[in-house]
Amino acid sequence: MSAVSRVQVKTRDVPGAIKGRGTAVNPPNRFEAARVEAFDDGWDLAEEEQSRPQTTLIRDNTRSIIARNDSPDLPFSQSVNPYRGCEHGCIYCFARPSHAYLGFSAGLDFETKIVFKPEAAKLLEKELAKSSYKPSVIVLGSNTDPYQPVERTLSITRSVLEVLERFGNPVGIVTKSAGVLRDVDILSRMAAKNLAKVHISITTLDPVLARSLEPRAASPARRLAAVRELRAAGIPVGVLASPMIPGVNDAELESILEHAAAAGAQSAHTILVRLPHELAPLFSDWLEKHLPDRAAHVLSLIRQSRGGKLNDPDFHSRFAGSGPYAAMLHQRFTRAVKQLGLEDGAASLDCSQFAAPSAKASATQMSLF
C-alpha cells in the first residue's frame, strides 16, 4: 500500500487551549434552563484558573450496573462502565454529551469530573447470581474507557473482571490504554477458555496529532506494543481504527491497519466520527484552535457524509455515514482488511461455560461420590 501524508499539528502552545486537556471549553448542560456566561473584568483570572484544572473523583452510588441495549448497530447487548467521564480527554469522544445526564458539561467537566462506581463488582455479582440472568458477552468500555488513569489506584475494572472470571461470563474490552496489560493474568486465563477478547483503539500513528486529539491516552506506539503483549499472552486482539475524521486522520487508515496487523491484531473495525449534541461545537472549537487552516474543509467533509449535518443519529448509518466520501472510506477499509487478513471471522466468545460459583461448587462436590 502506498504511503500517505499526515496532518501537521504544531507543537507550539495553542491560544485558548489547556495543556494536557482535550478542551478548555465548558459549554452549558443542555438540560439546564439557567446559563452562566463568563465576564471579562480585565484581570485574566479565567485563564489563570484554567491553567491547571484538577481532576475530581465523584462517588456513584448507583444500585444497578449492567446497561442493556437492543441497538441493531451494536454486536453486544450488555455492557458495564466502571467510570463515567474520561480523563483521556479525547476531543472527538461521542460519550461527552452523556455527562449532561449527571448535571455536568460535556466539555472540560467530562475530563475533569470523573464519576466512579466503587460497588461495581458487588452489584455485578448480584446481577449474575439472579436466576433470571441470561449469560451473554459483557463489554467493558462501550461508553468511557475502563482503563483511564484513575484505574491504577481504584482497580474497579479489575474487580469486575474477577467476578466475570468466577462466573465464566465472557467479556469484551474496548480501550486505548496500555493499562489493560495490568490485567493480563485474568484475561489470559479467560482467553484460554474463549471467554475474553480485547479491542485496542488506535486513532492515529502520529504522536503529535494524538497528543492533541487524545491528550491523556497512551501514545500510538504504546498501544501497538500493548497489542503485541496481549497476543503474546494468548489473548485475542482486534484494532479499532476509529474514529476516522475526514481531513484529519483518514489518510492514515491503511497505515494504522498495517501496523496493527504487524503487531498481531487479528481483526479490525472502523467508524466515522460522530458529533452528537454538544460535541459538534466542541470539536469545531478544537479545529479552529489546532487546525485553523483546514477547519472549514473538515467540517464540510463531515457534512457531506452526514446528509448535510454534523451528526446523523439514525441506526444503520450513524457509524458508517452516507454519500460518496463515506462509501470511499468503506471501500478502502474493506480492501485493507482483506489484504491484511483482518476480516473478523473469529468464533464468538463462549457463553455456555457460565455458572454461578455456588453451582460450580455443588457440581464439584457431587463428583466425589
Distance CA(355)–CA(369), nearest Å, equals 21
Residue scoring higher pLDDT (5 or 63):
63
DSSP label at residue 248: T
pLDDT for the residue 42: 41
Residue partners of 161: CB distance under 8 A and separation at least 6: 140, 171, 183, 186, 187, 190
pLDDT for the residue 11: 46
Q: Across residues 171-180, what is the average pLDDT?
A: 97
**Residue type for 124, please?**
L
pLDDT for the residue 193: 98
Distance CA(175)–CA(161), nearest Å, equals 14
Strands (E), the chain: 56-59, 67-68, 78-80, 83-84, 113-116, 138-140, 171-175, 196-201, 237-240, 267-269
**Residue type for 68, please?**
R
Distance CA(98)–CA(32), nearest Å, equals 14
From 218, 296, 228, 295, select the one nearest 259 (Cα to Cα): 228
194: left (phi over 0), alpha (psi -120 to 50) or beta: left
Residues in a beta bridge with 139? 79, 172
Distance CA(336)–CA(316), nearest Å, equals 22
Residues in a beta bridge with 57? 114
Residue given cell 498481531 in the structure block: 264
Q: Across residues 293-317, what is the average pLDDT?
A: 93
pLDDT for the residue 37: 46
Residue 359 has pLDDT above 70, yes or no: no
Q: Which helix (H) or strand (E) holds 127?
A: helix 120-129
Please state the domain extents for the chain. 54-343
Residues in a beta bridge with 78? 68, 138
Collapsed DSSP state (helix, strand, coil) of residue 113? strand
Collapsed DSSP state (helix, strand, coil) of residue 25? coil
Residue scoring higher pLDDT (24 or 81):
81
Distance CA(253)–CA(251), nearest Å, equals 6
Give the model confidence (pLDDT) of 19-74 as tens digits. Answer: 888 887 787 777 665 444 444 444 444 444 455 789 999 999 888 899 998 888 78
The CATH number that domain 54-343 falls under is: 3.20.20.70
